[in-house]
Amino acid sequence: MKKLHIAADTQALSAELAEWIKDLILDTLHTKDRFTFVLSGGSTPKALYQLLASDAYRTSIPWEKVHFFYGDERAVPFEDERNNAKMSYDTLLNFIEVPTENIHIMRTDLDPMESAVAYEAVLNTYFGEEEYTFDLVLLGMGDDGHTLSLFPGTEVVHEEKAWATAFFLKAQDMYRITLTAPVVNKSRYVAFLTTGSGKAATLKEVLEGPFEPDRLPSQVITAGQGEVHWFVDEAAAAQLSV
């Protein structure tokens, strides 16, 4: 199931998504003792994370019951400004009451493939043979249609078994560690956060064009039996037919 949410601008969109996330966490915790949340990297979610770290959400969400994971990571030290985990700490995790053992970063002090194997082992301890994996996966979409570290023309787009993997991305001259479509598509909810006019043409192709995952990897994220929600601002939605 796919749902579209459109807000006027990034600020309004972040506010809508923050409220949606709060409600989803509270609803889930009525029937479960934990909520599993995959964070996205990049610059787009910073405003959302800062909002979730504000007084309104810091006290209204039982963060001690939330378990955090990461969609992907650049194989750079934690101290590097490009590190996704560092960004999430700087904008959210350092400001909420969450146990350290609830935060599962992708280690960059290991060989990238070793890190991916270790991450998959963590995921198996959480989810094993359960019907669903994460309660919520937050994703972004690049101008080129990539999500996670699933870039156009890369083999990982077609991964069918591994839940996490690593590979060298020549275009960026670095290794990337990433979750794959099989584990994300077993999630209960996926939320794409996409803003800006620079993504309007790609968003239209991803949502309304033919299925071309080698060119538009975001199309492989379907959430299976779960729900995919697209949170977009008016600039990004400008070319959609809806």
Instruction: Give the pLDDT confidence score for residue 123 in this predicted structure.
Output: 98
User: Residue range 67-92: average pLDDT?
Assistant: 97
Q: From the CA atom positions of the chain, what is the Rg in Å? A: 17
Q: Which residue has the tokens 């949502």?
A: 207
Which domain covers residue 50, as residue numbers?
2-233
Instruction: Give the pLDDT confidence score for residue 219 in this predicted structure.
Output: 98
Instruction: Give the pLDDT confidence score for residue 155 in this predicted structure.
Output: 97
Is 238 among the domain residues?
no
Average pLDDT of every residue of the chain: 97
- How far is residue 242's CA from residue 144's CA, in Å, rounded to a whole number? 22
**Is the model's pLDDT at 121 over the cut of 80?**
yes
Global confidence as pTM:
0.97
Is 241 among the domain residues?
no
175 phi, psi to nearest 5 deg: -80, 145
Is 242 among the domain residues?
no
Domains in the chain, number: 1
User: Residue range 144-151: average pLDDT?
Assistant: 98
**Is the model's pLDDT at 34 over the cut of 80?**
yes
The answer to whether 145 and 218 have CB atoms below 8 angstroms apart is: yes
Instruction: Give the pLDDT confidence score for residue 242 in this predicted structure.
Output: 76
Is 138 among the domain residues?
yes
User: Residue range 100-125: average pLDDT?
Assistant: 98
Instruction: Give the pLDDT confidence score for residue 120 in this predicted structure.
Output: 98
Is 239 among the domain residues?
no
Distances (CA, A) of 157 to 32, 161, 180, 226: 32, 12, 8, 20
Nearest to 191 by CA among 32, 14, 63: 14
* CATH code where residue 61 lies: 3.40.50.1360
Helix (H) or strand (E) holding 66, with range, is strand 66-70
Residue type at position 133:
T
Is 71 among the domain residues?
yes
- How far is residue 130's CA from residue 143's CA, in Å, rounded to a whole number? 34
Instruction: Give the pLDDT confidence score for residue 157 in this predicted structure.
Output: 98
pLDDT tens digits, one per residue of 181-238: 999 999 999 999 999 999 999 999 999 999 999 999 999 999 999 999 999 999 999 9
- How far is residue 127's CA from residue 78's CA, in Å, rounded to a whole number? 26
- How far is residue 37's CA from residue 21's CA, in Å, rounded to a whole number? 10
Is 206 among the domain residues?
yes
**Is the model's pLDDT at 129 over the cut of 90?**
no
Is 240 among the domain residues?
no
